[in-house]
């Protein structure tokens, strides 16, 4: 299946002309980021938490402490959602009402499950690590038995998803056409700074390829 089927859960209602249901396009947004937001309800209060992730096929992996409150609550649910957002620009219009953002966002829906198989768990941690900074898994020490026991990995088997993309200038009203107000797009990009070695990093150790080659 090359597209996610539209449903009451994933259908984009506001601005449907910007909706994307193609798996390839949705996953392109997912794979070009490493921070998602997960929502859950704790004692009647909605909470949204950012966390790192990695994807393999139709599975999204996240991890945390074995006592992580969010993950433990999510595992009690039949379905969870994860949101990934890229901010690409601030759209400045002639009226405040029509100011906006250019963005790419994806919302994934699926059934959570605890990853208990040790091989899948280790593979998931590699996927998450390399999604954040490609190649880092092979440069650092692998988790030991104690660390694995202290770590929980949750998989979200993706059943539904959709994306929404805005990539255009301001859409002002005709009545404002003659207003002498500057309009346009202020692009936003994430830049990579100069690596800062830790205080206990041996100066003779070269900066690894994962850091040198990193590009967001």
pLDDT (tens digit per residue) in 125-178: 999 999 999 999 999 999 999 999 999 999 999 999 999 999 999 999 999 889
Residue 211 included in any domain: no
What is the pTM (predicted TM-score) of this model?
0.93
Distance CA 169, CA 99 (A): 10
Distance CA 58, CA 15 (A): 26
Residues 6+ apart with CB under 8 A from 107: 10, 81, 82, 83, 161, 162, 163
Distance CA 27, CA 24 (A): 5
Beta bridge partners of 114: 154
pLDDT tier at 215, thresholds 50, 70, 90 = confident
Residue 60 included in any domain: yes
| Token digits of residue 141 | 């020490």
- Name the one residue in this structure whose structure tokens are 């390829």: 209
pLDDT in tens, 180-200: 999 999 999 999 999 999 999
| Token digits of residue 54 | 């990695």
Mean pLDDT to the nearest integer, 24-40: 96
pLDDT at 214: 92
pLDDT in tens, 50-101: 999 999 999 999 999 999 999 999 999 989 999 999 999 999 999 999 999 9
* Structural domains in the chain (count): 1
Q: What range defines the domain where residue 97 resides?
A: 16-187
* Residue-wise DSSP of 154-208: EEEEEEEEEEEEE-------GGGTT-----EEEE-----------TTS-TTSPPP
Residue 214 included in any domain: no
pLDDT at 15: 84
Mean pLDDT to the nearest integer, 19-26: 95
pLDDT tier at 212, thresholds 50, 70, 90 = very high
Residue 215 included in any domain: no
pLDDT at 21: 95
Residue 43 included in any domain: yes
Mean pLDDT to the nearest integer, 12-39: 94
- Residue 139 sits in a domain whose CATH number is 2.30.110.10
Residue 196 included in any domain: no
Mean pLDDT to the nearest integer, 4-33: 93
Q: Give the CA-trace dihedral at 185, 187, 48, 4, to 10 degrees.
A: 80
């Amino acid at each position: 299946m090359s597209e996610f089927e539209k449903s009451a859960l994933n259908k984009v209602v506001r601005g449907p002309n910007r909706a994307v249901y193609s798996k390839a396009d949705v996953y392109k947004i997912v794979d070009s980021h490493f921070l998602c937001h997960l929502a859950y309800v704790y004692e009647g209060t909605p909470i949204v938490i950012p966390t790192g992730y990695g994807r393999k096929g139709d599975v999204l992996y996240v991890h945390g402490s074995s006592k992580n409150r969010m993950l433990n609550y999510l595992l009690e649910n039949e379905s969870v959602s994860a949101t990934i957002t890229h901010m690409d620009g601030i759209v400045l219009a002639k009226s405040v009402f029509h100011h906006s953002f250019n963005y790419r966002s994806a919302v994934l829906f699926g059934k959570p499950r605890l990853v208990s198989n040790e091989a899948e768990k280790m593979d998931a941690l590699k996927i998450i690590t390399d999604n954040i900074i490609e190649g880092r898994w092979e440069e650092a020490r692998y988790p030991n038995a104690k660390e694995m026991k202290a770590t929980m990995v949750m998989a979200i088997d993706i059943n539904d998803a959709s994306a929404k993309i805005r990539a255009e200038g301001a859409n002002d009203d005709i009545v404002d056409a003659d207003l002498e107000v500057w309009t346009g797009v202020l692009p936003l990009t994430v830049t990579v700074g100069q690596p800062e070695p830790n205080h206990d990093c041996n100066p003779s150790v070269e900066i690894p390829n994962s850091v040198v080659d990193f590009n967001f």
